Structure 1
Amino acid sequence: MRAAQFADGEFRVTEVADPPALGPGQLRIAVAACGICGSDLSMSKDPCRFVAVAEKAGYPLAVFDHQRPVVLGHEYAGTVVDTGADVTDFAIGDRVAGIGVSTDTGTGVPTIIGYSNEYHGGFGEFIVVDAFWVRHVPDGLSLEHATLAEPLHVGEMHVQQSGLTDADSALVIGCGPIGLGAILAAKAHGARTVIASEPSPARRALARALGADVVVDPNEQDPPYGTRWPHPARGSSSPTNAAAVQAFSTRYCTPCRSDPESRSSRQASRRKPLSLWSASFG
């Protein structure tokens, strides 16, 4: 099949091996569209460091041989072209999207598609994924827009894990795609007030457009602890019951190369955080 393969620091459109044969409970999907995750960008900038972060974090779903080619992309949408044994909720021709997780039929170990040397991601024509993580795309929603289901679910997941109720307020730190999803989710869960903290003017504007009640620039304003913010409908909101929703998780690791020259030349990048998509699949 054709795919945008990443190897030796470059993307090339080329022929690659088909994904592995379907196992029980799996789907083969013809990809119609695929988003570019921030983790894909991080991986393409430094595959060695990306894998080291996943290993150090105890996150096997994103561990692979970074010296071998991969086909990235897990924010997919497409059409089912084949179903494995025990699949009852999907049929050939169904329009679907979901979380790109596939369980290796030989080892039983799950992996995020694209962060695997065998289970290609959505930058190729076809993917194989576990049906458990797949959802039907409603009529009237384009497959291009359906690719947003995966990143938006991360914001929803963080809000669920925070325990936020309609008696709480939410502080969203960072208004990139995941943070914006957290704003939408907090509003949907009925948060009294949603406060967004973001240094980028463009992202602050998006946060306002997506429903944040209060938007602050952390370079100009301290986090709003101890401040009572007016709510347009409910009056003031107490910060004492704010459910803080952390939009991004960052981890650090050292360079893979150990020679002194490498350590010296890359010391600055070693201090920089690496965003790593860290959805909980439990």
Structure 2
Amino acid sequence: MSVTTTKLAIDRVSKRFPVRGSNDTFTALEDITLEVRTGEFLVLVGPSGSGKSTLLDLLGGLTKPSSGEIRLDGVPITGPGLDRGIVFQQYALFPWRTARANIEFGLEAKGLPRRERRARAEEYLDLVGLTGFGDRYPHELSGGMKQRVAIARSLAFDPEVLLMDEPFAALDAQTRESLQDELLRIWRTTGKTILFITHGIDEAVYLGQRVAVLTSRPGRVKAVLEIDIAHDGGEDIRSTEDFRAHRHRIWSLLRGEVERAQGLELESRTESSASVASRTERPSHV
């Protein structure tokens, strides 16, 4: 009998930012508690402005929580580290490096010899389906190929967790679905723990073993759902009744949050316009 262990623990985490020009603070995340199991593919879905990317920054150690704690294998995260690989929505590749050299970047930080770096880079180029493209520069690659390089770079230095912030959002629908399948294949091959952030419900259901649903601002965990859909039957699972049922459950949880997020965005724009108008109408003194 296998024992389920916690790889990543988010313990009552909140994040507040100061509001420029005042003593007020803006709360992006509030009292987030969530565990990611070892080897799990967990998807985080929420409306725009729910703090999804803010949470990924905290997990990556790029910023620190205002309160609460994040632990990896029981050890508090206090900054960036090679135990976490991050794949962003934008490819974030170095334009002056070839695909192979981009993948080798993290391996250089780990101090691997040149020959070992090259062998590892070739291994991960093969893993993401880019054998033969190692000498290409980013401007010579399609969007989907760039994202494959970004995934390979994040995996090559063997992180404990792969953090992915809407990595397929900028791609066309066909490329996005193809890379979703590739990512599942890579996950099964490597056994990595993955936390994947998206605002797409279909993407969340297709990829996740579990889906955590965030509220509108400030982001809180509203529910965590188990997704029990098998991908090995050969049929298009997006057309199955199980897929539609999971999608409906998540949309039922999100619908009110999306409407509230849209209301908050409209309110913010209105307040901003009023502030600009007030400054414009203020009499000048010569």
Higher strand proportion: 1
**TM superposition score category, shorter chain reference:** under 0.3
- Of Structure 1 and Structure 2, the greater helix share is in 2
TM-score w.r.t. structure 1 length? 0.28
> More relative contact order in 1 or in 2 (CA 8 Å, sep 6+)?
2
